[in-house]
Structure 1
């Protein structure tokens, strides 16, 4: 549960969302979507109450599998083009272009004709990211999108997402376990622990002093010669 949280995320920012398991990262993203009611306080998303207008929001939940082993990658993305009836929708030329653009954005065009049951976890993950990108949303909420990806692909996808933010002026909240995958890509860090959060740039948030205050216990933050951040604490 998150409490005493007051922050504002500027338009066009790429925000990395970090913290230990159970800290509230997924809860926060679901609250932004209007999927969880607030016990108190207020959230405004793109100037509106959560869930009021989902057309400008792309969302990739953490616990989501690409169901339908016989479907192709293209079918998966096409099924998300319209939610007002069962089955695959009729696609206009603009719809097809949007799907292809989303596939290209995460280097997943080669997965379009392959069946989901034949794909690895990382390949399905790339398709789910592409699905969230359809329609060029103003706000993109990604819950562990880099999970199941190898380190090289993880960095590639992170850099592609960072480029999309700049090209389209999107705002992105991206939760991840490893901050190093988003270093140089994200503009800000939101770190949550013990029901509290801190938002700022990497040098403001990822410090021994700042994280020790959040955890209420000694936390050590070290930077390696290569620039990687290491966070160590008995409480983690």
Structure 2
């Protein structure tokens, strides 16, 4: 899907198609585990080409939100639609980029084999790669600049290169929505910039909506259209200027939070690192995730 010649007006400052129907819509959404509500009354739409950053302390429900959109976790209440219909597990309309974790050096899969899983990974067994599937694999690798190591074992690639391949895998089905779960963790600054630039390029060129979970706003600051901030069972949706203020974050957390804008960076002080997590709830709290 392209943004030119479509009769849809793109936002001049981003890739968002402001007059288009939403590709992702939550209305009165609620997610509870036992007696604890992670969030409730969550209502917002994501338009084609829009970049939405999701932030909040670890345990606030960011990864759980992605699980809901992926069809892995049912809502406790409210509605969710993707491209106008109820979400289904394994939908080709949704691409998913997981947290960056190094693959073992002995992993036998080539980069193109991993990308292929984004096209027909739902099928059982192995089959000959058709011309159509080969084209989609090659196109996805090209989009992320990974053609040169397409036939290399993924285990020998650098962390940044592996993450490029994961993005290609997520794009291979030509999704309308790209979900990114802390994809910059453990990457150096150069690789972080490369990854965010690739995702931004995709949403601008193809109109793919991006929902980007992160614990740090600054690496994605140049690309964000809106922020969804989750905290203490409450939330705020708005632009950077709307959400990243001392008043707004202090109200969300119920404790003084200082927000300072320094040049092209935002410094936030006083935000709790974690929230209480109910038993058997799988919101990650490992060493690699301090979201």
- TM-score greater than 0.5 by the shorter chain: yes
Q: What TM-score does the superposition give when structure 1 sets the normalisation length?
A: 0.90
| SS of the residue 2:236 aligns to | strand
Higher helix fraction (1 or 2): 1
Q: 1:16 to 1:215 in 2, by over 3 A?
A: same
User: In structure 1, what is the equivalent of residue 172 of structure 2?
Assistant: 134
3-state DSSP of counterpart to 2:42:
coil
Residues 101 and 8 of structure 1: is their aligned pair in 2 closer, same or farther, counting only changes over 3 Å?
Answer: same
- Output the CA distance in 2 between the equivalents of 1:180 and 1:25: 18
Residue 64 of structure 2: aligned partner: 27
Task: Output the CA distance in 2 between the equivalents of 1:53 and 1:124.
Answer: 22
Structure with greater proportional strand content: 2
Number of equivalenced pairs: 234
Q: Is 2:207 the partner of 1:169?
A: yes
In the superposition, the TM-score normalised over structure 2's length comes to 0.74
Deviation string 1:81-135 (CA, Å, 9 cap, x unpaired) is 2122223x42233322221222222222233122122223333222111100113
Alignment of 1:44-55 (within 5 A): 44-51=81-88, 54-55=91-92
The aligned residue for residue 185 of structure 1 is 223
* Match of residue 133, structure 2, among 88, 95, 98: 95
Matched, 1:85 2:117: no
More moved, 96-105 vs 12-21: 96-105
Q: Counterparts of 1:230 and 1:33 in 2: how far apart (Å)?
A: 32
Is 2:168 the partner of 1:153? no
RMSD: 2.1
1:61 shift after superposition: 3.4
Shift of 1:137: 0.8
After superposition, the Cα gap between the structure-2 partners of 1:71 and 1:210, relative to the gap in structure 1 and judged at 3 Å, is: same
In 1, the alpha carbon distance for the partners of 2:235 and 2:130 equals 44
71, 74, 78: which one pairs with 2:112?
Answer: 74
Q: Residues 157 and 234 (structure 1 numbering): CA distance in 2 closer, same or farther, change over 3 Å?
A: closer
